[in-house]
Amino acid sequence: MASQPTGDGGVGMEQLPDQGLHTVAGGPVAPAEKLGKPTVWGVLRDAALAWIDHRNIGTAAALAYYAAFSMAPVLVIAVTLSGVFYGRESVEGHVVAQFRDLLGQSGAELLQKMIQASYLSPSSWQAGLIGLGGMLIGATALFAELSAAFGRIFGTQRTYRYAWMSAVMERLKGLTLVVGIGFLLVASLLASAGLMAVGEWVARWSRAEAVLLSVMQAGVSLLMLSLLFGMMLRLMAPVKLARLTVAAGALTTAVLFEVGKWALGLYLGQGAVGSVFGAAGTLAVLLVWLNYVAMVLLFGVELTYQFYRYQDELFR
């Protein structure tokens, strides 16, 4: 189907040919005769089948590859922005500590070296400007590929009159997400400081401090992840999603991520992945973790699309 013109001639919607979908109210849905009353099993089944049909395992591998090279500039920009409010060293230490729980000590050290190597000390403002431009391109390349994955899943993609407009808009979306990550880092640091204060207060009255803090930390982590995934769905989805649809998709993806993170931590903790690859073991562990994150994210997008299909029945 050809792209649909808009009132201003700028942005339209182009439907991919092999999805069997039609466009209504700004986005594609399955044919009306195939839509019935949704069930939890039906939504999960449709999402899983679509996840396989869209070959998201290969897409996740591509995203992991992009992320391996984009992670350092993304974190540098996010840490720099959040460091304005909380201090760069504190933010960087917080980020490395979070990844230490996921990747182990060697993985966290590799990530810290990547971040520190990305900070430039240019001899002139021209070199600094070129370095900043290269960092921005690297930081947003991942999100351009992610946007294409969203288009395949939703069966439609946003099109522009000029190709350069598409490239610029996708990069701007990626930059917006990077800025959002920076502010979420600040919020996470503030929440951690608040939890420490609450823990000290609770310790005076109860011996259940450790249990309470663990529950509160899990809740804060789930909230931050939900906000991050929700922001990603809002910016990257090629159709307009209702707020409840975004909230349901973001929360479900965050829960899947937290559950899988625990299981992946047990697997990576055995050291089998790192030991097989020898000196490159740390990088292999990082790629395995990034691949898992990409697969969970893509399944969350598939679920969100199912919520979008049935949003009139689910959220009315």
Confidence of residue 9 (pLDDT cuts 50, 70, 90): very low
Of the candidates 178, 149, 171, which has an alpha carbon nearest to the alpha carbon of residue 237? Answer: 149
Rounded Cα distance between 248 and 95, Å, is 27
**pLDDT given at position 30:** 46
Which residues, 6+ apart, have CB-to-CB distance to 277 below 8 Å? 283, 284
Rounded Cα distance between 64 and 254, Å, is 18
Rounded Cα distance between 261 and 219, Å, is 15
Decide: 289 and 264 in contact? Cβ < 8 Å: yes
Q: In the predicted model, what is the mean pLDDT of residues 107-115?
A: 76
pLDDT over threshold 80, residue 192: no
Q: In the predicted model, what is the mean pLDDT of residues 122-140?
A: 62
Confidence of residue 142 (pLDDT cuts 50, 70, 90): confident
Q: Which of 120-134, 157-171, 239-253 has the highest mean pLDDT?
A: 239-253
**pLDDT given at position 27:** 44
Strands 156-160, 22-24: pairing is unpaired
Enumerate the β-bridge partners of residue 22.
29
What single-letter amino acid sits at 50? A
Q: For the chain, state the CA radius of gyration.
A: 21
For the stretch 16-61, pLDDT in tens is: 444 434 333 344 544 334 456 778 888 889 999 999 999 999 999 9
**pLDDT given at position 86:** 72
**pTM, rounded to two decimals:** 0.73
Return the percent helix, strand and coil in the chain, to nearest 5: 80, 5, 15
Q: In the predicted model, what is the mean pLDDT of residues 163-190?
A: 70
What single-letter amino acid sits at 61? A
H or E element in which residue 261 lies: helix 243-269
- Two tokens, residue 228: 């991050």
Rounded Cα distance between 203 and 198, Å, is 8
For the stretch 63-98, pLDDT in tens is: 888 888 777 777 777 777 777 777 777 777 877 777
Which residues, 6+ apart, have CB-to-CB distance to 228 below 8 Å? 180, 181, 184, 250
The label of the residue with tokens 């449709």 reads 46
Name the average pLDDT for the chain. Answer: 73
Rounded Cα distance between 16 and 22, Å, is 10
Decide: 185 and 58 in contact? Cβ < 8 Å: no
Rounded Cα distance between 177 and 140, Å, is 9
H or E element in which residue 24 lies: strand 22-24
Q: In the predicted model, what is the mean pLDDT of residues 267-294?
A: 72
pLDDT over threshold 90, residue 212: no
Dihedral of the alpha carbons of 178, 106, 253, 225, in degrees to the nearest 10: -50
Rounded Cα distance between 310 and 303, Å, is 11
**pLDDT given at position 2:** 43
**pLDDT given at position 286:** 81
For 27, what's the count of Cα atoms within 13 Å in the CB-facing half-sphere? 19
**pLDDT given at position 277:** 62
Of the candidates 236, 311, 250, 248, which has an alpha carbon nearest to the alpha carbon of residue 24? Answer: 311
DSSP string, 49-112: HHHHHTTHHHHHHHHHHHHHHHHHHHHHHHHHHHHHHH-HHHHHHHHHHHHHHHHHHHHHHHHH
For the stretch 300-316, pLDDT in tens is: 999 999 999 888 777 66
H or E element in which residue 157 lies: strand 156-160
